[in-house]
Structure 1
């Protein structure tokens, strides 16, 4: 069963979806895993890799184990942190599941294992509810975003196959319901490239703008480029585009963001002096507002 894209699209950034929509999303996730599994190694989305009990630590609660895991992680004992977090995750603690997912996705103190990361993130999605815990909202949104990324590219050698349509569903849900800026950026990229959804530059600009306003530098860069050049029928706003490109350039971090600097340099060099001056004036205004 495929998730209804039209139903998901009706969820605005400020609105919560109905319970029926949540049921559809989670059922779609479970269905995707079952349909894509190899018969000899089928895994249900609700049956995960066993989590060690870590009973020797004698944790009295998942919260205590989580605190111990965070403390040990910050102290540099990542193996100890993983053991504590695994206990909390075994009790269904969302933050512990999310942290373990990130650790396995990045090979941070544990062997790199995207499938384990996928399954930890899936457990968060499985357990999410309409009402939700505000403290876990960011964690849940991030989990749906991570699932979208895995569905987009697939996980080689596993039952998780590339599925851009499913990736769209995950990004759209995380972007609309949780307002996750990474999901908003990824959703915009799908609309820009026509990947998993019909290409729509205006929708791409809309989602880039939502992420850009939250300080997402790649979104700021691509939105700025679209506005400077009026790409895909998006109304040309050269000065505003230069402002976004400058903010993106100022927030660029390391070599992974070299493309942002290159995009800024290209557009700034092609801009008129009047547009540059107007952009600098607006940037001074933005800076003065931030300092208040």
Structure 2
């Protein structure tokens, strides 16, 4: 009979080694290295899907040094094989000037090809380019038509773009908050985090919909769950300033706002988060901290030359906190 003891010892040793590798993260690194090598080999062999995957790796710096030029190079190889997602990536990179100088005509050409190849999201990018005049002559009617092409395919980004068009009335387009809310809802129901946040904003103010603070909190929450920092901030602000005691929860607000990574935010967004910190501190009775945070907000707003109305609102809240009073909306 075969002696299985050495084999069992060997297997046990392998298990111990693998466990150790997992513990220090080396096993995951080994898998990632093998995955990258396999992707590289397939991409070099002409596999369009692998070429796009490799391009995305270079775009995000996933397992390789971030290199937008190399990202565009591999995405182009994939796009030239008529791979629709790669065509869209190439189009957006040319639009934004990533990996090359901005090339709006090339962006439009690749995005149109992507849409024709059934990449529905390309319609959003084309709609936005024409709506905003981003690298092309502004043509809101053409922008609308591209959004509609996307919404006809029930594409969430196109629905979001349509909602924004009705909300802001770019280029003289007729503002219609009810239409805006309806399009945000369609997009939000598909999980679009920006649409969810926008819908929460409309419910909070009763624009295009009946005012409903609980629904506002719900939609902010759904967006926040996906990691959108400004939705987290909006939810925390609502929880710290709502007049409705059933909604208001200062401790929960403070916990949410403390979890926001402010380093990646713009100066204006950082100010908004600090504003929420101040309101949350005040709601839990930490008025000294509220005053300090609010003073910082005013300092940022003055530095970036925010509107007089925005600064006046901050000063009004600061006065409340100095009187040991929380802020209510």
Q: TM-score range by the shorter chain?
A: 0.5 to 0.7
Q: For residues 70 and 190 of structure 1, do their structure 2 counterparts lie closer, same or farther at Cα, with a shift above 3 Å needed?
A: closer
Q: Given the alignment, which residue of 140, 144, 161 partners 2:159? A: 144
Show the counterpart of 1:76: 101
Structure index of larger Rg: 2
CA-CA distance at 1:198 after TM superposition: 1.1
Give TM-score, length-normalised by structure 2: 0.53
The aligned runs of 1:1-292 (5 Å cut-off) are: 61=82, 63=84, 66=88, 69=91, 72=94, 74=98, 75-79=100-104, 80-89=106-115, 93-128=119-154, 140-157=155-172, 160-176=173-189, 178-248=190-260, 250=262, 253-257=265-269, 258-268=271-281, 271-272=284-285
- C-alpha contact (below 8 Å) 2:254/2:281 kept by paired residues: yes
Q: For residues 117 and 202 of structure 1, do their structure 2 counterparts lie closer, same or farther at Cα, with a shift above 3 Å needed?
A: same
Once the two structures are superposed, residues 230-280 of structure 1 have per-residue CA deviations (whole angstroms, 9 ceiling, x without a partner) of 43344332211101122346366113312232222343356346xx9xxxx
Once the two structures are superposed, residues 44-81 of structure 1 have per-residue CA deviations (whole angstroms, 9 ceiling, x without a partner) of xxxxxxxxxxxxxxx78573754654575543352323
- In the alignment, structure 1 segments of 5+ residues that lack a partner are 1-58, 129-139, 277-292
In structure 2, distance between residues paired with 1:67 and 1:181: 21
**Following TM superposition, where does structure 1 have runs of at least 4 consecutive aligned residues deviating by more than 6 angstroms?**
none
Q: For residues 170 and 66 of structure 1, do their structure 2 counterparts lie closer, same or farther at Cα, with a shift above 3 Å needed?
A: closer
Give TM-score, length-normalised by structure 1: 0.59
CA-CA distance at 1:181 after TM superposition: 1.0
Report the aligned-residue RMSD. Answer: 3.0
Which has the higher relative contact order, 1 or 2, with Cα contacts under 8 A spaced 6 or more apart? Answer: 1
- In the alignment, structure 2 segments of 5+ residues that lack a partner are 1-79, 290-329
CA-CA distance at 1:192 after TM superposition: 0.6
Q: For residues 107 and 234 of structure 1, do their structure 2 counterparts lie closer, same or farther at Cα, with a shift above 3 Å needed?
A: farther
User: How many aligned residue pairs are there?
Assistant: 203
